[in-house]
Structure formats: C-alpha cells, structure tokens
Amino acid sequence: MARFKEGMPSQQGWIHELARAELHPDAEKLLQLDRVLDPQQLVEEKTIEFITELRESFSEIAHVFNSYSENGTKYPEVKIYSIAQTSADFMLFRNQIKLLISNPAHGVIQISFAQHQRSTFSVNGQVQQSASDDRNSSGLGQAQDLLAQIGPFRDIYFTFQGERISPEQISKFYFGEFVKVTRDPKRSKGSNQLLLDQIKALLHEKGLEL
C-alpha cells in the first residue's frame, strides 16, 4: 500500500480530519470539524498557503542574488519584509521601490509596485505602511491580480489571465522585473563608462581606434 507523502495541511490534512471524525462523529457535529469542506474556508487557507510559498520562493532567489553583492558593496541587496497587521502579506524593497504581495480581497492575491517617498521604517522586521506610499502612481505599472479558482473536486488553484500559475513562475518573473526596475541608473552608467575606458585603453595599446 502506497504511503502518503508529507505535504501542506491543506493537501494531506483532510484524511486526518476524516479519520478523527470517524472516531468521534458526535464531537465533529458539536465542534463543526467539517469546516474544512467549506469552499470559502478552503480558499482562505489556500490563499495564505500560496502567499507563504511565494515568500519562500522569493527568499530563496533573493538569497542567491544577494550573495553576489558582497554585503551590499557591489550593488544594493533586495530586502524582504512582512507587512504589519496582515496574515501573510510581504514586500520586496530596494532603492526606495517596493514590490508588494498582498491579499486585498477573498481569493485575490495582488502584486503591485510602489515607490516610497521617504525612508522605510520597520518594527520587529515588519514594515509599517504610511501615507508616503505612492502605490501604482509612479510609472511602475498597474497592480496585477492572481485569482483563486475552485476545481470540480474542490481543489483550489490560482490563475493569472485565466491561466493556472505556480509560485515559482510568479517569483521568477517578478523578481527579475523588480531587479530591473530598482537598478541604479547612475551605477549602471558609471560601470559602462569604466568598461568603455578599459576597451579604449586596450585598443590604444594595440594601435587601434574605437
């Protein structure tokens, strides 16, 4: 008999709940333990789970990306913060620009860029939102929504523009876009000028002109 692989509670926890209900059917009715079968509850749990998986994926990518920055000496690192007074919302932060991942409505995960006009402050690693956040009005693009869908057998998944998506797809795409948007143009220009000067010097040594 094949054994269940370990997984998230919303993926494998149902069989444990079913067995407990079989052992104590009267207690199940009293405590309403069958709430796991409520579609609205399932969507809420899956939303938190998806955002958590997104954060884990973003964190793994950021760890590799930041490892090349040599503690911020080569280029600014990408920071990841929780957002205060929310269940699982978080944000990426670099060069006064944010990428926010939030749950603004039932079954909706919103991804949006925002520019912070003043310095960011945090309490215990949680960013405090302030009136200086200028979301979606800084030429950084409109917010994008990931929508929860309920399958024929009450399986919950998220879609973007009607297509089913995974946390890995979202984190890979948006991390790349975030790095491009938050790149310091002055640093890039300076690096390009240095490279150009090096090429000119090399060509001069070979008696050539650029």
Coil, strand or helix at 49: helix
Summarised one tens digit per residue, pLDDT across range 150-175 is 998 888 999 999 999 999 999 999 99
Reported as a pLDDT band with limits 50, 70 and 90, residue 130 is very low
- CA distances, 147 to each of 30, 155, 169, 177 (Å): 33, 14, 15, 21
Q: Is the pTM of this model over 0.85?
A: no
Q: Cα separation of 32 and 204, whole Å? A: 81
Mean pLDDT over each residue of the chain, to the nearest integer:
81
Neighbouring-strand partners of residue 146: 109
Residue the block writes with tokens 């929310």 = 86
- What's the half-sphere exposure (Cβ side, CA atoms, 13 Å) at 121? 6
The answer to whether residues 82 and 90 touch, using CB atoms and an 8 Å cutoff, is yes
Q: Cα separation of 158 and 43, whole Å? A: 10
Judged against a pLDDT cut of 80, whether residue 55 lies above it is answered with yes
